[in-house]
Amino acid sequence: MTKQPKTLKVASAQYPVGQPNTLSEWEQKVAVWVKNGAATGASLLVFPEYAAIEQAACFGPEVYGDLKLTLAKVAALTAERVQFHADLAKKHKVHILAGSGPLLKSDGRYVNAAQLITPDGAIGEQEKLVMTPFERDWGVTAGETVRVFKTKLGIFGIAICYDSEFPLLVRAMAEAGAEVVLVPSCTERVSGYHRVRTGSLARALENGIATVQSPTVGDAPWSAAVDFNAGAAGIYVPSEQGISDTGVLAEGTLNAAEWVTATVDLERLRRVRETGEMHNYCDWALQPGAPMRRVDVETISLI
């Protein structure tokens, strides 16, 4: 039986969307970010939703100025991009949630997928489950499976941006054992950032878990897809005496390009779920109308 880790040091990126001229230039940028993230001592680095779209800049305005061509070009780079992150994870001995991007399915649909990568090269993938209006217009479709990922660092869920605003999705992850839910996000306005932030705080409170938000930041007027980006990274837990009175372990400066780090006390969170000041996790079923049927969750082992 795998011993449960007591703590987790995590680094969440406030990742600035740039305009690289070549894929080599993009790789150099990401490599520096991973190096700096690993230098914080974190064992998990989290990158934001649609960070992969930055690659479209490498192919000129005929691609990055066209939403459909952006999807196709960035999706075609998925395997290469994931392997690049796997090489960095191995080099720096860290787990990485790579920035999400479009993934072309066998049936011809595009989904928004993020990959969790271990230093040993194991890869788990979560697709976004609820599409925003923009994504529907763009032609990005909903994924189908809720997953949790067993790693040497603990059990993780991934709720990509808008997914964090739906309690039943994250509840299913928590009931399947997730103690930390990663929330990569991409929002063009401060109001959108706060929606995801509020969702992340609420999901942490409801389930007695930690949530980790990682946003894109900065303007990228060259892009038809990620032209405006606003947000701050945050690491959230239940508001509980001895853990955090506010529920905020760490939070970045709005729209700054930086890493935000914190150490999550997983052992104490387990006690909160069982014997905390309030019993939100255990009392979930006491809500009038609480669903009796559980959401199916697939558990992926990355150990």
pLDDT in tens, 140-159: 999 999 999 999 999 999 99
pLDDT in tens, 73-104: 999 999 999 999 999 999 999 999 999 999 99
Active site includes 49?
yes
Q: Are 132 and 112 in contact (CB under 8 A)?
A: no
Locate 256 and state its tokens. 């700054």
Tell me, what's the pLDDT at 183?
99
Query: Given a cut of 90, is residue 265 above it in pLDDT?
Result: yes
The mean pLDDT of 259-278, rounded to a whole number, is 96
Nearest residue to 34 (alpha-carbon basis) of 19, 25, 44: 44
Tell me, what's the pLDDT at 3?
85
With a pLDDT cut of 70, the percent of the chain lying above it is 99
Backbone torsions φ then ψ of 92, nearest 5 degrees: -100, 0
Tell me, what's the pLDDT at 234?
99
Label residue 291 by pLDDT band (50, 70, 90): confident
The mean pLDDT of 183-192, rounded to a whole number, is 99
Ranges of H-type helices in 18-143: 23-39, 61-64, 67-76, 78-92, 133-138
- Select which of 58, 73, 125, 128 is catalytic: 128
pLDDT in tens, 192-211: 999 999 999 999 999 999 99
Tell me, what's the pLDDT at 257?
99
Domains of the chain from N-terminus onward:
7-301 (3.60.110.10)
Label residue 290 by pLDDT band (50, 70, 90): confident
Query: Given a cut of 90, is residue 289 above it in pLDDT?
Result: no
- Select which of 58, 73, 135, 161 is catalytic: 161
Tell me, what's the pLDDT at 2?
67
The mean pLDDT of 158-185, rounded to a whole number, is 98
Query: pTM for the whole thing?
Result: 0.98
Query: Given a cut of 60, is residue 106 above it in pLDDT?
Result: yes
Question: Average pLDDT of the chain?
Answer: 97
Label residue 1 by pLDDT band (50, 70, 90): low
CA–CA dist 44, 62 (Å, integer):
36
Tell me, what's the pLDDT at 238?
98
CA–CA dist 67, 56 (Å, integer):
10
Tell me, what's the pLDDT at 249?
99
pLDDT in tens, 9-62: 999 999 999 999 999 999 999 999 999 999 999 999 999 999 999 999 999 999
Nearest residue to 175 (alpha-carbon basis) of 152, 148, 150, 197: 148
Number of neighbouring beta carbons within 10 Å of residue 137: 10
CA–CA dist 281, 302 (Å, integer):
26
Query: Given a cut of 90, is residue 217 above it in pLDDT?
Result: yes
Query: Given a cut of 90, is residue 182 above it in pLDDT?
Result: yes
